[in-house]
């Protein structure tokens, strides 16, 4: 294959469906070179064939639909359980924090009251 | 499988998507029923493995259900689903570090739709399509995904790059290499045979 044909053959996978205009020297060469025209035709045929593959559907295994729906359900249930556990944890944490705060307040009140009793004149 | 019907006939996909976005699980299940063969076909094209494709389909719909509220309807649902599927396939490929080959009998025979309606076209194209499918399976996964998503499913370079986590330039380079490899797989053997004769 002549050097110029090799160079152009290397460009063809990119330019075969490019929206951008092809360089004039490249276009002129392809128009006058049967070898490059044949190469371009191969790429075009290949792309047409690939587009046709879009119209073919492969038959999935019979259980795929049920398995897919079950996966989504299971994930939803896991999320719901996690959500409940998270809410419970927050409730426990709130209760503990409340108890600690109440105990702290009571302790402070007792200490203040005791201190006042000590400072009262006899 | 009975189609879902509203008061004015079967509910179209856009309505189902709108309902699913509001949290209607039944609507989403119907979307899965209507689209899973298409999604499975893409998954097989991307992974060249029925087993992996089944995992990819389940993962893709799980991601779609979790993210359906974020789907704004700017693109077609099918295009959005293709992007999720390609992303799930890329994840699956990451899990399968070792390259595995697939026996031809492991991949299901295609159910032709449009082609089957035109017998003359089917006869003419049958051999080419079989060779194309076989050549696709021969491609390395990183090149195959580009050829499948761009040349079969028509996704843009930008969308492909985003889903595969690569630059647009890298996507273009991989597509170029993928097409060249496909061309060699399809025609080089025939050329060698012709030269020998």
State the burial class of residue A33 (Cβ atoms within 10 Å of its Cβ: 0-12, 13-18, 19+).
Answer: middle
* pTM of this prediction exceeds 0.80: no
Q: Is the confidence at residue A101, as pLDDT, over 80?
A: yes
Is A43's CB within 8 Å of B36's CB? no
Q: How far is A74 from chain B (nearest CA, A)?
A: 10
Q: Are strands B9-10 and B110-112 parallel, antiparallel or unpaired?
A: unpaired
What local confidence, expressed as pLDDT, does residue B95 receive?
79
B64 shares its domain with B132 = no
CA distance linking residue B154 with residue B82, whole number of Å: 10
B29 shares its domain with B58 = yes
B92 shares its domain with B121 = no
What local confidence, expressed as pLDDT, does residue A27 receive?
87
Q: Where are the beta strands (DSSP E) in chain A?
A: 56-58
> What value does the mean pLDDT of chain B take?
83
Q: Is B2 among the domain residues?
A: yes
- Residues of the domain holding B38: 1-97
Closest residue in B to A72 (Cα–Cα): B62
Which of B97, B132, B152 terminates a domain? The answer is B97
B53 shares its domain with B141 = no
What local confidence, expressed as pLDDT, does residue B93 receive?
83
Name the residue ranges covered by the structural domains of chain A.
3-53, 91-122
Residue A100 gets the label, from left (phi > 0), alpha (psi -120 to 50) or beta, of: alpha
In which residue are the tokens 């690569």 written?
A: B166
Q: How far is A41 from chain B (nearest CA, A)?
A: 11
Helix pair B157-164, B77-95: axis angle to 10 deg: 40
Nearest-by-Cβ selection for A64 from B54, B172, B177: B54
Q: Is the confidence at residue A3, as pLDDT, over 70?
A: no
Q: Cβ atoms within 10 A of the Cβ of B96, count?
A: 13
Helix pair B157-164, B168-196: axis angle to 10 deg: 100
Q: Tens-of-pLDDT digits for all 197 residues of chain B?
A: 444 444 455 679 999 999 999 999 999 999 999 999 999 999 999 999 999 999 999 999 999 999 999 898 777 899 999 999 999 999 988 877 554 444 434 444 455 444 444 555 555 678 888 899 999 999 999 999 999 999 999 999 999 999 899 999 999 999 999 999 999 999 886 667 666 65
In which residue are the tokens 């399976």 written?
A: B137
Measure CA B193 to chain center: 33
B13 shares its domain with B91 = yes
Q: Using an 8 Å Cβ cutoff, are B96 and B64 in contact?
A: no
Chain A contact set for B108 (CB, 8 A):
58-60
Chain B contact set for A16 (CB, 8 A):
179
> What value does the mean pLDDT of chain A take?
85
B79 touches chain A (CB under 8 A): no
Please indicate whether residue B26 or residue A91 has the higher confidence score (pLDDT): B26
Q: Is B103 among the domain residues?
A: no
Q: How many domains does chain B have?
A: 2
Q: Where are the beta strands (DSSP E) in A39-111?
A: 56-58
ipTM: 0.75
């Amino acid at each position: 294959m002549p050097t110029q044909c090799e160079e152009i053959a290397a460009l063809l996978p990119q330019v075969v469906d490019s929206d951008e205009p092809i360089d004039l020297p490249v276009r002129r060469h392809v128009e006058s070179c049967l070898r490059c025209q044949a190469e371009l035709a191969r790429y075009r045929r290949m792309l047409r064939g690939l587009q046709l593959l879009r119209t073919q559907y492969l038959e999935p295994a019979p259980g795929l639909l049920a398995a897919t729906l079950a996966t989504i359900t299971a994930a939803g249930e896991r999320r719901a359980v996690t959500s409940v556990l998270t809410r419970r944890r927050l409730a426990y944490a709130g209760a503990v924090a409340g108890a600690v705060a109440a105990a702290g307040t009571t302790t402070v009140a007792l200490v203040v009251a005791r201190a006042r009793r000590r400072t009262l004149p006899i | 499988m009975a189609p879902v019907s509203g008061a004015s006939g079967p509910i179209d996909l856009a309505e189902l998507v709108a309902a699913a976005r509001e949290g209607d699980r039944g609507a989403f299940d119907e979307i899965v029923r209507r689209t899973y063969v298409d999604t499975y076909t893409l998954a097989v094209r991307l992974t060249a493995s029925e087993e992996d494709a089944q995992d990819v389909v389940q993962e893709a719909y799980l991601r779609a259900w979790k993210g359906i509220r974020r789907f704004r309807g700017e693109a077609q649902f099918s295009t959005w689903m293709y992007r999720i599927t390609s992303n799930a396939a890329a994840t699956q490929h990451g899990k399968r570090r070792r390259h595995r080959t697939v026996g031809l009998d492991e991949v299901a025979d295609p159910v032709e739709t449009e082609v089957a309606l035109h017998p003359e076209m089917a006869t003419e194209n049958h051999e080419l399509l079989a060779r194309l499918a076989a050549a696709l399976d021969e491609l390395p996964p990183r090149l195959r995904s580009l050829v499948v998503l761009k040349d079969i499913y028509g996704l843009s370079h930008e969308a492909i790059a985003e889903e595969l986590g690569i630059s647009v330039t890298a996507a273009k380079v991989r597509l170029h290499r993928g097409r060249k490899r496909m061309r060699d797989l399809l025609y080089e053997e025939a050329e060698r045979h012709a030269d020998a004769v």
